[in-house]
Amino acid sequence: MQKTDQTRFLPPCLLTISTQSLCNIIYFLINPTNLRYSVDLFSLEFPYIDWRIISAAMANRGPSYGLSREVQEKIDQKYDPDLEHRLLDWIVAQCGGSMERPQPGKQNFQKWLMDGTVLCRLINSLYPRGKEPIKKIQETQMAFKQMEKISQFLQAAEAYGVTTTDIFQTVDLWEGKDMAAVQRTLMALGSVAVTKDDGHYRGDRDWFHRKAQGYRREFTDEQLRQGESLIGLQMGSNRGASQWSFSIR
């Protein structure tokens, strides 16, 4: 009985990669929550793979059931419609031009942002002309390219000053898993922009709170030497102490 060449059943793109790389692809598919910054790295590591197939597979996710559905409902309850209205006002004012405003509602807000184009335009508008962090913004229908633009926005937002804890995950927006987290990131971005006050913020400054800034005090050498001779209150005190209440037996 002749042996069958098993490799002829594999896609040509998988014949040229190592076992470790193939495991990375499988891990990438079954762990979509790790898409925050990794999508662009995979496109560089595997440029010959048709990512449209992977994107389509990730796009066809069914609804949540049971415990997962309960968790998702609790996450959805954190979404703030009033905050959505404020963020829409700011993004349209900040980006300017012919930016179209979507209809109210969480799903419309998610569809408006999910391709990453609006987000990239938003972060670029906070920089002076010629110093934009995202050099090329192209509208595309490819899911993988859309997630890549979201990833670029997240990296640029963190470099701009948004803390890591305020950064949402790519799937939070692209799959609509946690739109409240998306709102939190945009609010943090607006707060940083208002706090910087570098002339690139557009809109009502009352839409966002200024971030607290530290106050640094400078002391002279003489003041520092005088401080060394002082006894701190935590060291205790013997003022007013006497042996009046003690008796010798």
Q: How many CB atoms lie within 10 A of CB 198?
A: 10
Q: Where are the domains of the chain?
A: 11-62, 67-207
pLDDT value at position 232? 62
CB 36 within 8 A of CB 153: no
pTM for the whole structure: 0.61
pLDDT value at position 248? 59
Per-residue pLDDT, averaged over 188-206, amounts to: 91
End-to-end CA distance of the chain: 112
Per-residue pLDDT, averaged over 167-184, amounts to: 91
Q: How many CB atoms lie within 10 A of CB 233?
A: 7
Write b or e for each residue in 85-116: b if 16 or more Cβ atoms lie within 10 A of its Cβ, otherwise e.
ebbbebbbebeeeeeeebeeebeebbebbbbb
Per-residue pLDDT, averaged over 184-188, amounts to: 94
- DSSP state at residue 161: T
CATH top-level class of 67-207: mainly alpha
pLDDT value at position 121? 94
Per-residue pLDDT, averaged over 129-149, amounts to: 88
- For the chain, what is the radius of gyration of the CA atoms? 28
Taking only the tens place, the pLDDT of each residue in 31-58 is 544 444 444 444 444 444 444 444 444 4
- Indicate whether 202 pLDDT > 70: yes
- Indicate whether 150 pLDDT > 90: yes
Q: Who's near 80: CB < 8 A, 6+ residues apart? A: 180, 183
Per-residue pLDDT, averaged over 99-112, amounts to: 92
